Amino acid sequence: MNIFKKNQIVVFVTGLMIIAAGYLSYTNNENNNSLQASAIADSEEMASIGDAKLVSANIVNEEFNNILNSTENTNTIDSNEILDKKEEKSIDEEETQTTSNNINDYFTSSKLERQTVYSQRIENYQDILNNSNVSETQKKTAQEEITKLNDEQNAIMIAENLIKTKGIEDLIIFVNGESINIIVKGEKLEKEEIAQIQNIVTRELEADIGNIHIMTKK
């Protein structure tokens, strides 16, 4: 083989090597660019996914806060309504209790006043008995009046107790001569209750049914 052919072969091989090196360099650059692009895409995708999760988390938190606020508001309203109802109930119970106390006080105080009147009348007649300047006739009359007042008090007490056994909560009987006034605790009386009261009073106080006056107080 001559020198010229050898030189051609060397040049040809060298050219092939240069072409191969250029191809490999191009291929590596493409791969690197592809990897970098893929890495950037993956990074952007992860960032996008991260943002999506964060937004979702914020939405969940907002929804949770809304629900929580709604529940708190509902509880507050319900609590206020309960408090209002309790206050209304408390006011109603207080008014009812006050009314009940007033009625009870009326009957209690009225009976005490009645007892005071009887005590004063008996004391006045007792003074007559103790007065040496009073005649025997006057003393006899005073003694009869004392007995009458005591009997009347006992009859009133018996009548009131018997009437209570008929289901009447409370009452008071005032005797003024032949007239007898009866005040019964309650709103109204049934005909049967009125008849029972009249029967007891006429029997225990020896009163005429026409002189018995029955009233209610609530």
Residue 115 has pLDDT above 80, yes or no: yes
- Write phi, then psi, for 10 (nearest 5 degrees): -60, -45
pLDDT tens per residue across span 138-184: 999 999 999 999 999 999 999 999 999 999 999 999 999 999 999 99
- Residue predicted with more confidence, 73 or 176: 176
- DSSP letter (8 states) at residue 186: S
The per-residue pLDDT of the chain, averaged, comes to 74
Whole-prediction pTM: 0.56
Confidence grade of residue 120 (pLDDT, cut at 50, 70, 90): very high
Mean pLDDT calculated for residue range 198-209: 96
Residue 84 has pLDDT above 80, yes or no: no
- Residue predicted with more confidence, 144 or 51: 144
Q: Which domains does the chain have, with CATH numbers?
A: 113-217 (1.10.287.4300)
- How far apart are alpha carbons 129 and 60 in whole angstroms? 100
- DSSP letter (8 states) at residue 72: H
- How far apart are alpha carbons 69 and 172 in whole angstroms? 61
Structure tokens at 123: 């004391």
Q: What is the pLDDT of residue 218?
A: 85
Structure tokens at 85: 């109802």
Beta-carbon contacts of 217 under 8 Å, excluding residues fewer than 6 positions away, are 103, 106, 183, 184, 185, 186
- How far apart are alpha carbons 171 and 111 in whole angstroms? 9
Sign of CA dihedral 160, 162, 165, 167: negative
Q: What is the pLDDT of residue 125?
A: 96
Q: What is the pLDDT of residue 102?
A: 84
pLDDT tens per residue across span 17-47: 655 555 455 444 544 444 444 444 444 444 4
Confidence grade of residue 103 (pLDDT, cut at 50, 70, 90): confident
Q: What is the pLDDT of residue 47?
A: 42
Beta-carbon contacts of 162 under 8 Å, excluding residues fewer than 6 positions away, are 200, 204
Structure tokens at 205: 């106080």
Sign of CA dihedral 136, 137, 143, 147: positive
Q: What is the pLDDT of residue 77?
A: 42
Q: Distance of CA 7 to CAs 1, 12, 18, 82, Å?
A: 10, 8, 16, 110
